[in-house]
Structure 1
């Protein structure tokens, strides 16, 4: 699989680290119950079809990217820098 980084161009996916669904940045409050933290850290959906995921270009420009992809066909539909999004967060 290849991802097209907005700054570096097309790169092998091994240059990136996958961080999960786009809601990864929506952390529970510090005083949230243990179950909320357990769900956040360990329980993930595994949808078949189009997803929006957070990736980090750790072997390149160190950009956070929001990748829209199809988990069935492995087609990459869009890649955008999180910093370029309105508000700067996913």
Structure 2
């Protein structure tokens, strides 16, 4: 079972407490009515799906209910860090150095 740290509650809890909410840092078009159908499709459905470190959104559904971001390795399912929504992305190079 995965254990995930909620940066708002400051607790590390089992995965069942949380819901995955997709890729993090996906910018919504400022004027959706002016975006082409193809660009709108890409915004809604096309994601990176990388093998390795990825930025994800999670929600603490059985706790504070808030959304937060996480850096997770998709092969090992290991979480390197979690951080509050709205905070900038952490530097992956520094995270990997600290992890070794």
- TM band (smaller chain): 0.7 to 0.9
Tell me the TM-score normalized by structure 1: 0.80
Say what the alpha-carbon RMSD is for the aligned residues: 1.7
TM-score, with structure 2 as normaliser: 0.73
* Structure 2 portions without partners, runs of 5+: 89-100
**Would you identify which runs of 4 or more consecutive aligned residues in structure 1 move more than 2 Å?**
none
Number of equivalenced pairs: 84
Distance 1:23 1:81 in 2: 12
**Unaligned segments of structure 1, at least 5 residues:** none
Q: Which structure has the bigger radius of gyration? A: 2
| 2:32–2:40 Cα contact (<8 Å) kept | no
Measure the CA separation in 2 of the matches of 1:42 and 1:53.
15
